[in-house]
Amino acid sequence: MVGEIEKILKEILNDDIKILPKERFDPEESSKNSKFFGIDEDFVFLYNKNLPVEQLYNIKRFLGNFLHKHEEISNNLRQSEILSAELEKMIKTGRDFKENEEFFQNFFSILKNSGYRFALIRNMQTLFNYKIDPFTLKSAVEKLQKKSAISFPFKNGELFGIKRGFHILIIESQTKIDPFDKKVSESKLVWLNTLYESKMGYEIDRLTGLFTRNRFLKDIESSRNISALLINVKNFKNFNEIYTSKIGDKILLELTARLRKFFDICELYRVYGDRFAVLIKNIECEQKIEKFHAYINDTYHIFDPKTKEFISLSPKIETIYFTKVSKEILEKANYGFKKIGKKRAVFEKDIAPILHREQKSLTLLKEALANDLIKAHFQFVKSTDKNGGYFEALMRIEHKGRLLQPGPFISAAKERGLYHKLNLTMLKKAFEASAAMKEKVSINIDIHDILQKNFLPTIEKLAEKFRNDPALLQFEILESENLYDYIPELKEFIRQIKNFGSTIALDDFGKGYSNFSAILDLEIDLLKIDRSLVKNISSDDLAHKILKGIASLCKNIGIKTTVEGVENAKIYERLKEVDIDYIQGFYISRPLPFEIVSRNFSREPLQKGNLI
C-alpha cells in the first residue's frame, strides 16, 4: 500500500519521492543528496525538488494520518485472521485433545511463528519447552507459585508467564510481547486447561493437582510389580483447627511440592484429605524412605496472609510402605495408620501380622456368636460386713473346648460392628441370671453402649422380659480415655438408670484416666478400685495408705467401694484394716458358670474345700 502511495505522489509531484521505514533510513547519508522529514515514528519522507512548504506540510499530515489508519486496519485484519484460525483450532482440539508433545507444539504454534520462546508446564512437570533455558524456566515457575501472572523486562525484551488451573505458560521474547499475543496465549491456556479438566477432572485433585483416589485405584489395577508408599499427616486436623483451613491448604500444597521434588518421576496421589500415595516402580526403598522422612518432616514455613508473618509448623508424617500393592491397599493403610504408632512402617513386616491375628479373632467371634458360644460367668463380690454381696457378670468365649478371655476381641469387635451384638448377648444372660437367682448382678458396659440411642429401651425391655427386680441390677461403667468427653450424656444416663431403680458403679478406678471431680459430679453409687492399687498393699505401706485414703473419702461422701484383685490371704488380711464395702478376687471366688453359682455356692473366702 505504501508503495502505491509512493508511486502516485511521484507522478503528481514529478519528483523521485521515497517513503522509507526508519530502520532503512540513514539521515546523514540521505541529507547529502535529498531533503526529508519524518512522517511519524516509523516512516520518513524523502524528496528532491524545492517543494512549497505548505504542500510538504499537507503531504506530511495526510501521510501521517493515512499510515496510522493503515497500520491500525492491517493490525486489526491480522488479529482477526489469527483469531479465526485460532477458533478453528480450538474446535478441532476439542475433538483431538491428546497428551503428547506434538499436540502441545501444534496447539501453541502461533507463539513459535511469532518468534517467541515458550514452555508449557503442568503440575510442575514440563510438557514442552521451546528454547527457554532451564534456569529461567525454573525461576519463572517458582514465581508463579505466588501469582497468577508475571511480566519482567528482559534485556530489550520481556519474560511473561501465566498460570491457569493446572497449567503454566512461560513466554520469553527478545522484544516486547504484543499484548494481543498475550491475550491469545492466555485464552489458549484457559482452553487447554478446560479440556484437560473435562477429560481428567475426576482424576485430578483440585487443590494439589495430584491424581485422586479414583485414579489411584485405576492405576494399581493396571500395574504389576509395583510398590507403594502411603503417607499420612497425623496432626493435620490440629493445624486446620488452630489456624484456618487456608493455612491447612497451604501445608498440603507445601507437602505436595516436597513430594514432587523428592519423587520426581513417580506417580503421586492424594488419596484422602490428609493422606497421600506414591507408586514406586523400582524397589530400592528402605533407604530412600529414610531420606524422605528427613526431608518431608523438616519444618514448614507457611506464610499467613492475615498476620503477614511466617508460621513454622512441624507436621507429623507417618508412612507405610507396601512392597506389593493390592486392591485393598487403602483399607489396609487406614488400618495400619490407626494401629501403628510408628513413623515408618513396612506393611508386610509391621502390620500384616497384627491384621492377620485380628482377622482370626474376628472369625472366631463370628463363629461364637452364631453358635451360642458366648458364655457369661459370674464372680461373687463379697460384702465385708455381712455374708451378702453381688455377682459380676463376665464374658468368656468358648473355643474348641477352652474358655477364652474377651479382651483381645473387644476392640476388633468394636471396629467391625460386632460389639453391640456381643454385649446384647451378655446383657440377656446377666439379666436372666439375676432374675433366676434373685441376686444382684453387676454388668459391664462402656461409653459406646451409653451413647447408643436404644440402649435404655433395651434394658427396660429385657428387664420386663425376664421380670427383673431393677434393684438387683448394677451397671459397671468402664473408665476409658474418652469417657470424660461425654459428661452430659453420662449424667443423663445415670439419672435414668437411677430412676429405673438400678445402681451405677464405676470400674477400673486408679488405672490412669481417673478424674475425681468428675466422679463426684456423676453421683455414682459404687467405685471399683483397680487391682493395680491393691496388688502390693501387703508389702507397700504407701499403697496401703493410698487405698485407706480413698476408702475413707468414699465413705465420707457416701459412695460404696469394691476392691478387686484380692488374690491371696495376705491381701485379704491386710484389707481388714481398710474401710471398704466389697472385696473381689480369686481368694474370694473365681468366675463360675451360671449352672454352678445358681445351685450351690459358698460365700466364704476360698478354702481348700470350696474350690470348685
Partner 1 sequence: MKALRFYGKRDIRLEEIPKPIPKEEEVLLKVTDAGISQTQINEFMDGPFLINSEPHPLTGKKIPIVPSQEYGGIIVADHLGSKNDPVGKMAAVLPLISCGRCEYCEQKKENLCQNLAYRGLLGADGGFCEFSAVKRENLFFTQKRELLTFIEPLAVAVHAAKTVKKLIDLRNSEVLILGAGAVGISVAAYFEQIEGAKVYISEILSTRKAKAKEAGFETLAKKEIKKSFDLVVDAAGTDPITQKPAITEGFAYLKRGAPLLNLGSYFHPVSFVPAYILVNENSLIESMAYDSEDIEKLKREIDNIKTDFSIFIERIPLKDIVNKGYLRAEVAKESFTRLVVEP
User: Rule CB under 8 A: which residues touch partner 1?
Assistant: 22-23, 25, 27-28, 31-32, 35-41, 44, 53-54, 56-57, 59-60, 155-156
DSSP-derived secondary structure letter, 478: P
Name the residue nearer to partner 1 (CB basis): 6 or 567. 6
Name the residue nearer to partner 1 (CB basis): 21 or 501. 21
Least distance in Å: CB of 51 to partner 1?
A: 9
**Half-sphere exposure for 365 (CA within 13 Å, toward CB):** 27
Least distance in Å: CB of 64 to partner 1?
A: 10
Name the residue nearer to partner 1 (CB basis): 174 or 245. 174
- Radius of gyration in angstroms for the set of CA atoms belonging to the chain, rounded to a whole number: 42
Name the residue nearer to partner 1 (CB basis): 103 or 152. 152
Give just the sign of the alpha carbon dihedral 319, 323, 327, 328. negative
Non-local (6+) Cβ contacts of 125 within 8 A are none
CB 535, CB 570: distance < 8 Å? no
Residue with grid cell 514465581, as numbered in its chain: 143
**Half-sphere exposure for 584 (CA within 13 Å, toward CB):** 24
Name the residue nearer to partner 1 (CB basis): 70 or 511. 70
Closest CA to 257 of 141, 137, 148: 141
Name the residue nearer to partner 1 (CB basis): 59 or 527. 59
Least distance in Å: CB of 1 to partner 1?
A: 21
CB atoms within 10 A of CB 229: 22
CB atoms within 10 A of CB 31: 11
Least distance in Å: CB of 62 to partner 1?
A: 12
Name the residue nearer to partner 1 (CB basis): 57 or 586. 57
CB 288, CB 319: distance < 8 Å? no
Q: In sequence order, what are the beta bridge partners of 395?
A: 376
Name the residue nearer to partner 1 (CB basis): 27 or 134. 27
What's the rounded Cα separation, in Å, for the pair 30 and 146? 53
Name the residue nearer to partner 1 (CB basis): 156 or 307. 156
Least distance in Å: CB of 173 to partner 1?
A: 15
What's the rounded Cα separation, in Å, for the pair 395 and 376? 5
What's the rounded Cα separation, in Å, for the pair 183 and 160? 12
Closest CA to 568 of 546, 585, 543, 590: 585
Q: In sequence order, what are the beta bridge partners of 228?
A: 279, 322
Least distance in Å: CB of 59 to partner 1?
A: 8
The three cell numbers of residue 450 are 451409653
Least distance in Å: CB of 3 to partner 1?
A: 20
Name the residue nearer to partner 1 (CB basis): 176 or 360. 176
Least distance in Å: CB of 205 to partner 1?
A: 43
Closest CA to 36 of 64, 56, 66: 56
Least distance in Å: CB of 133 to partner 1?
A: 19
What's the rounded Cα separation, in Å, for the pair 303 and 293? 23
CB 176, CB 160: distance < 8 Å? no
Least distance in Å: CB of 68 to partner 1?
A: 13
CB 505, CB 442: distance < 8 Å? yes
The 43-47 sheet, strands edge to edge: 18-21, 43-47, 35-38
What's the rounded Cα separation, in Å, for the pair 205 and 201? 8
What's the rounded Cα separation, in Å, for the pair 411 and 470? 30
Name the residue nearer to partner 1 (CB basis): 66 or 196. 66
Least distance in Å: CB of 313 to partner 1?
A: 40
